[in-house]
């Protein structure tokens, strides 16, 4: 769409403990979405938007009314929504498609936007190593185990999932690891290896909770979108210019550590 921008966010972890802070962050995210809605053509949500999400055929998690309502409004305005399953919200089986008109991506998504080639993914389990995490990811994505989990009563299943998420470092107020450097960051190593066989202008990821923008090769860039817990960062594609930006709304009451990008 002419004069329209494309936006990218990840790792809002809505519903994360403590609930009061999550509610404030949800309102802030809705505020940002309301501000961009009139000049947006597409919105990419690159995973872990929810701290825990598991939907049944007739039951979905309680809460997130303001956020889901705003996404429905964006869809009604003709904005294309893309939802990527992360490691916290893997278990989406049709609700976002039917209620929000979103396109769901359970695997990396390759596309061309404004003439630029993009490789989009949540960013977990990429590159060499990290075998223990890849094993855990395989368990979470196993169809048989997903079916068995769905046989649990929703009250118990959602309690179990929220209890597991509550044990995460972010729920305890622990900041993400520091940037490991271009020779250690798995997402960067993955991009460099991929570029040996196929070119992309941008690799856009979440998962690490660290906003960074690193040039690989002559022109390609690897961008991590950061999060909406500490950094409140997002990606903006304006024409052929991609920028990593920080939302300057009223975040002072909920930012627990300053980030600079």
What is the per-residue pLDDT across 5-16, written as a single tens digit (0 to 9) for each? 999 999 999 998
How high does pLDDT run on average in the chain? 85
pLDDT number for residue 134: 63
- Say yes or no to pLDDT of 261 above 70: no
pLDDT number for residue 234: 97
- Say yes or no to pLDDT of 87 above 90: no
Poorest-pLDDT segment among 8-22, 78-92, 104-118, 173-187 = 173-187
Over residues 71-85, mean pLDDT: 96
Distance of CA 245 to the CA centre of its chain: 15
What is the per-residue pLDDT across 152-173, written as a single tens digit (0 to 9) for each? 777 777 777 677 666 665 655 5
Between helix 65-76 and helix 19-36 the angle, nearest 10°, is 20
pLDDT number for residue 258: 40
Instruction: For CA atoms 89, 67, 36, 77, give the dihedral sign.
Output: positive
Domains belonging to the chain, first-starting first, are 5-246 (3.60.21.10)
> Which stretch, 64-73, 125-134, 244-253, has highest mean pLDDT?
64-73
pLDDT number for residue 189: 93
């Amino acid at each position: 769409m002419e004069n329209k921008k494309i936006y990218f966010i990840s790792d809002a972890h809505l519903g994360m403990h403590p609930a009061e802070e999550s509610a404030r962050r949800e309102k802030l995210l809705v505020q940002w979405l309301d501000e961009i809605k009139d000049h947006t053509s597409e919105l990419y949500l690159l995973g872990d938007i929810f701290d825990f999400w598991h939907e049944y055929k007739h039951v979905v998690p309680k809460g997130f009314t303001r956020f889901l309502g705003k996404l429905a409004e964006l869809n009604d305005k003709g904005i294309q929504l893309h939802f990527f399953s992360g490691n916290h919200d893997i278990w989406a089986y049709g609700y976002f498609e039917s209620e929000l008109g979103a396109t769901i991506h359970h695997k990396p998504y390759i596309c061309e936007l404004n003439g630029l080639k993009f490789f989009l993914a949540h960013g977990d389990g990429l590159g060499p190593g990290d075998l223990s995490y890849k094993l855990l990811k395989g368990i979470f994505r196993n169809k048989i185990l997903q079916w068995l989990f769905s046989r649990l009563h929703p009250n118990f299943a959602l309690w179990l999932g929220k209890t597991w998420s509550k044990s995460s470092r972010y729920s305890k107020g622990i900041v993400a690891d520091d940037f490991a450097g271009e020779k250690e960051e798995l997402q960067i190593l993955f991009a460099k290896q991929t570029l040996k066989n196929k070119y992309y202008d941008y690799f856009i990821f979440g998962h690490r909770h660290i906003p960074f923008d690193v040039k690989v090769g002559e022109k390609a860039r690897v961008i991590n979108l950061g999060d909406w817990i500490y950094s409140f960062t997002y990606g903006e594609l304006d024409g052929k210019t991609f920028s990593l930006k920080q939302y300057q709304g009223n975040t002072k009451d909920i930012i627990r550590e300053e980030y600079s990008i």
